[in-house]
Amino acid sequence: MPTPAKQQAIDELNEVFSRAKSAVLTNYQGIPADELTAFRAEMKSRSLEFRVTKNTLAQIAVKGTPFEALQSEFKGPVSLLVSFDDLVAPAKALSDYAKSGAKNNPKVLCGLVDGKAISAEEVKVLSNLPSREVLLSQILSVFQGPTTQFAGVFSSLLRKLVGTLEAVKEKKAQG
């Protein structure tokens, strides 16, 4: 039976695991405390939650949540980067942080997106996707293209019809 403090930590983690839309598990070993603090602040500014948890507590807390697929991954120095809103935000944030020139970066172990466990390679692929807004605008432009072309063709046909009618009118007026 866990102590009351550990039970509270388990309950809190379980609630995080239940609400999260996506997460990335990372190895934070070798990152100095001051850099880890700066990393945590950067993630918080992106509305992401960065946690270092005890593996045994995390293994207990994942039961009954989508994170159950990652239960075996909680071993060694593991940290968790969680998003409650955006599916690709943790992967993008880690990628952007690595590109920012930080000396030490957390090493991606695996991830979870919408209840599905993904590998470190898949997390990297996710980080290279355009943002949700860019993807939506690309989709809209694809849908808008044919309607714009249709409108242009229809408008052209109307101009030709009007031009033909004007020519017939002028010919009848002359002759």
The pLDDT tens digits for 18-32 are 999 999 999 988 888
Cα dist from 149 to 69, 94, 156, 159, whole Å: 48, 41, 10, 15
Locate the DSSP E strands across 8-106: 22-27, 49-52, 78-83
Domain range spanning residue 167? 130-175
**Model confidence pTM above 0.85:** no
Q: Are residues 71 and 122 in the same domain?
A: yes
Q: Are residues 44 and 100 in the same domain?
A: yes
Q: How many domains does the chain have?
A: 2
**pLDDT, averaged across the chain:** 87
- At 119-143, the pLDDT tens digits run 999 999 888 887 778 888 888 888 8
Q: Are residues 111 and 54 in the same domain?
A: yes
